[in-house]
Amino acid sequence: RRMARRGKTMAAEAKGSGHPLEKSIRKVCVTIGEKDTDIVITSYQNNIFIIATQNGKCGTMVFAEKDAKAIGTQPTYSVKVLMGKRDDELISLVARNLVTKVAPKSLLLGINLKNLNMKTAKELIKKIDAYKPS
């Protein structure tokens, strides 16, 4: 069962006091690599939790964050695989790109795509950037 019909989003916004656990959630079903892909983006005050899956499971969990101290003028980012495929460089690349584009401070990413390659990684980043909560 799909969470949302292809190309349509469901959003739930929590409004209120500015509490750190206040969140907004966006769910969408898109096609990536010719396969239906569910994307859930949960945005908290300073963090974003994203799941991108083609089989309903979280897959590899990755934490990425902007480092407090920048080297020179460019910000630096740390990426750590918490569980799952530790040797897949593309997953780390996706996390690093997403933390620079959509996360204010840090990102927790669950990614489970059947055929992750450079083309599908770029598609995924583009789709998440398009559907990120504003």
Answer yes or no: is pLDDT of 2 > 70. Answer: no
Q: Per-residue pLDDT tens for 11-49?
A: 444 444 455 555 688 899 999 999 999 999 998 878 899
Express each pLDDT in 64-106 by its tens digit: 998 876 667 777 889 999 999 888 899 999 999 999 888 778 9
Query: How many residues make up the chain in this entry?
Result: 134
Please determine, for residue 3, whether its predicted confidence score (pLDDT) is greater than 80.
Answer: no
CA distance 79 to 94: 10
